[in-house]
Amino acid sequence: MHAFPCGTLALDFVGTLRARRDPEPREMLADGPALDAWFVEAGVIGEAPAAGRTELERAIELREAIYDCALARLQGHGLPSAAVGVLNRWAGSAPVRLMLDDASTRREGSAANGLATVARNAVELFGGDDAALLRECGRPGCTQVYVDRSRGGRREWCSMRTCGNRVKAAQFRARHRDAPASASA
């Protein structure tokens, strides 16, 4: 259901609003159960925390603050103070608890603990060296922001399996569609 191509928890969380510049972006966090599913699929919390409307509203506020910071970094601007305030408030909250069971770990917590964990990841990202590696996906329509850790820093897409494959397939179709027309000219 959810995608995780970005290289960080915080940016994958931003990706829960797809095609954000479209007239009707695709909201992946439509309700509390969708937020619960994201936490579990992302490995933030082991069991769905039963998020409600309030937690969903807070999650969307945090997501948009993370995006505002990412956009500012992409554009070479300073971080917006309102967004930084939201990140710092959440990052100062208690994160998900890690528990050891025999030879494995278990992650426990509420939706608020999950949001604190995401916020801490965002603070580390925007305050660290990886902030210089932020890129936006090169596929038209995709607004996913990712960390480009590729050798040479030349990654173009949030994910080769999705956006990269779509761009390359479209280029291939265009070349083959145009080839007969140019051969007969």
CA 25 to chain centroid: 15
Q: Domain range holding 56? A: 9-183
Which pLDDT does position 161 carry in this prediction?
64
Which pLDDT does position 167 carry in this prediction?
54
Structural domain total, the chain = 1
CATH value at residue 40? 1.10.3300.10
CA 117 to chain centroid: 14
Give the other-Cβ count within 10 Å of 133's Cβ: 17
CB 29 within 8 A of CB 16: yes
* 170 falls within a domain: yes
pLDDT in tens, 63-99: 999 999 999 999 999 999 999 999 999 999 999 999 9
Residues of the chain with pLDDT under 70: 1, 4-5, 139, 153, 155, 157-175, 178-185
* 2 falls within a domain: no
* 39 falls within a domain: yes
pTM for the full predicted model = 0.84
* 103 falls within a domain: yes
Q: Which of 92, 150, 138 is nearest to 116 (CA)?
A: 92
At residue 84, what is the residue type? V
